[in-house]
Chain A
Amino acid sequence: MPIEKKKTHLKAGKYFMQGDEACAEGAVAAGCTFFAGYPITPASEIMETIVRRFEEEKRVFVQMEDEIASMGAIVGASWTGAKSMTATSGPGFSLKMENLGYAIMTETPCVVVDVQRVGPSTGQATRTAQGDLMQARWGTHGEHTIIALSPWSVEEAFYETVRAFNLAEEFRTPVIILMEEATGHLRETVAVREAIEIFNRVEEGNGAPFGGEEPLDAVPPMPRFGTGHRLLVTGSTHDPHGYRKTQDRVTQERLLSHLQQKIEYHKERIVQWEEYELDDAETVLISFGFAARAALKAVKDARKKGIKAGLMRLKTVWPMPTERFETLAAQAKTLIVPEMNFGQLRGEVQRFTGGKKVIGVNRADGEVITPESILRAVEGGTSL
Chain B
Amino acid sequence: MKQEYLKYIRDNVFPTAFCPGCGHGILLNAFVSALGELDYDQDNLVLVSGIGCGGWIASPHMNTDTLHTTHGRAIPFAIGVKLANPKLKVVVISGDGDLTTIGGNHLIHAARRRIPITVICGNNNIYGMTGGQASATTPVGAKTMTTPLGNDYRPFDLVKLVKGAGGEHVYRYTAFHAMQMKKAFKDVLQKDDFSFFDILTGCPVQYGRRNELREPAKMIQWMKDNSVLYSGEYHDDKIMVGKF
Task: Please report A residues at the B interface, Cβ cutoff 8 Å.
Answer: 33-34, 36, 60, 62, 64-66, 68-82, 84, 98-99, 102, 225-236, 242-244
Assess whether B85 is interfacial by the CB under 8 Å rule: yes
Q: Tell me which of B59, B80, B82, B88 contacts A234 (CB under 8 A).
A: B59
A87 to chain B, nearest CB (A): 15
Contact A231 B84 (CB under 8 A): no
Task: Please report B residues at the A interface, Cβ cutoff 8 Å.
Answer: 10, 12, 42-44, 46, 48, 59-60, 63-70, 73, 75-85, 87-88, 105-106, 109
Contact B105 A231 (CB under 8 A): no
B110 to chain A, nearest CB (A): 9
Q: Tell me which of B44, B64, B70, B82 contacts A235 (CB under 8 A).
A: B70
Complex: how many Å from CA A169 to CA B29? 38
Q: Tell whether A68 pairs with B65 under 8 Å between CB atoms, given A80-B81, A228-B43, A235-B70.
A: no
Closest to A231 in B: B65
Contact B80 A226 (CB under 8 A): no
A280 to chain B, nearest CB (A): 52
B105 to chain A, nearest CB (A): 6
Contact B60 A75 (CB under 8 A): no
Contact A36 B80 (CB under 8 A): yes
Complex: how many Å from CA A80 to CA B88? 9
Complex: how many Å from CA A232 to CA B12? 13
Among A34, A69, A235, find the residue whose CB has the most chain B CB atoms closer than 10 A: A69
* Contacts A60-B84, A233-B66 known; 14 new A-B pairs at CB < 8 A: A34-B80, A62-B80, A72-B77, A73-B79, A73-B80, A77-B84, A81-B84, A102-B69, A225-B85, A225-B88, A226-B65, A226-B87, A235-B69, A236-B68
Q: Determine the chain A residues whose CB is within 8 A of the CB of B76 once the complex forms.
A: 36, 64-65, 68-73, 76
Contact A244 B60 (CB under 8 A): yes
Complex: how many Å from CA A137 to CA B60? 31
Pairs A–B under 8 Å by Cβ, sample size 23: A62-B83, A64-B109, A65-B109, A66-B105, A69-B73, A72-B76, A72-B79, A76-B67, A77-B81, A79-B81, A82-B84, A82-B85, A99-B70, A225-B67, A225-B85, A226-B43, A226-B46, A230-B42, A230-B43, A230-B63, A232-B60, A235-B68, A244-B68
Closest to A243 in B: B60
Complex: how many Å from CA A34 to CA B82? 11
Contact B84 A76 (CB under 8 A): yes
Contact A229 B65 (CB under 8 A): yes
Contact B85 A232 (CB under 8 A): no
Contact B60 A76 (CB under 8 A): no
Task: Please report the number of residue pairs spanning A and B whose Cβ atoms sit closer than 8 angstroms.
Answer: 128
A99 to chain B, nearest CB (A): 6
Chain A at the B interface: SS class: mixed
Complex: how many Å from CA A229 to CA B79? 20
Complex: how many Å from CA A380 to CA B12? 69
Contact A98 B84 (CB under 8 A): no
Q: Determine the chain A residues whose CB is within 8 A of the CB of B83 once the complex forms.
A: 34, 60, 62, 73, 77
Q: Determine the chain B residues whose CB is within 8 A of the CB of A227 once the complex forms.
A: 43
Complex A-B, nearest 7 residue pairs according to Cβ-Cβ distance, in ascending order: A76-B80, A72-B76, A73-B80, A69-B76, A77-B84, A76-B77, A234-B68
Closest to B87 in A: A226
Q: Tell me which of A99, A225, A242 contacts B81 (CB under 8 A).
A: A225
Q: Tell whether A62 pairs with B79 under 8 Å between CB atoms, given A34-B84, A225-B85, A226-B87.
A: yes
Contact B68 A73 (CB under 8 A): no
Q: Tell whether A79 pairs with B67 under 8 Å between CB atoms, given A225-B85, A226-B87.
A: yes
Q: Determine the chain A residues whose CB is within 8 A of the CB of B105 once the complex forms.
A: 65-66
A277 to chain B, nearest CB (A): 46
Q: Determine the chain A residues whose CB is within 8 A of the CB of B63 once the complex forms.
A: 230
A202 to chain B, nearest CB (A): 18
Contact A231 B66 (CB under 8 A): yes
Among A33, A70, A74, A233, find the residue whose CB has the most chain B CB atoms closer than 10 A: A233
Closest to B66 in A: A232
B168 to chain A, nearest CB (A): 19
Among B59, B83, B109, find the residue whose CB has the most chain A CB atoms closer than 10 A: B83
Q: Tell whether A76 pairs with B48 under 8 Å between CB atoms, given A34-B84, A60-B83, A62-B83.
A: yes
Closest to A73 in B: B80
A246 to chain B, nearest CB (A): 10
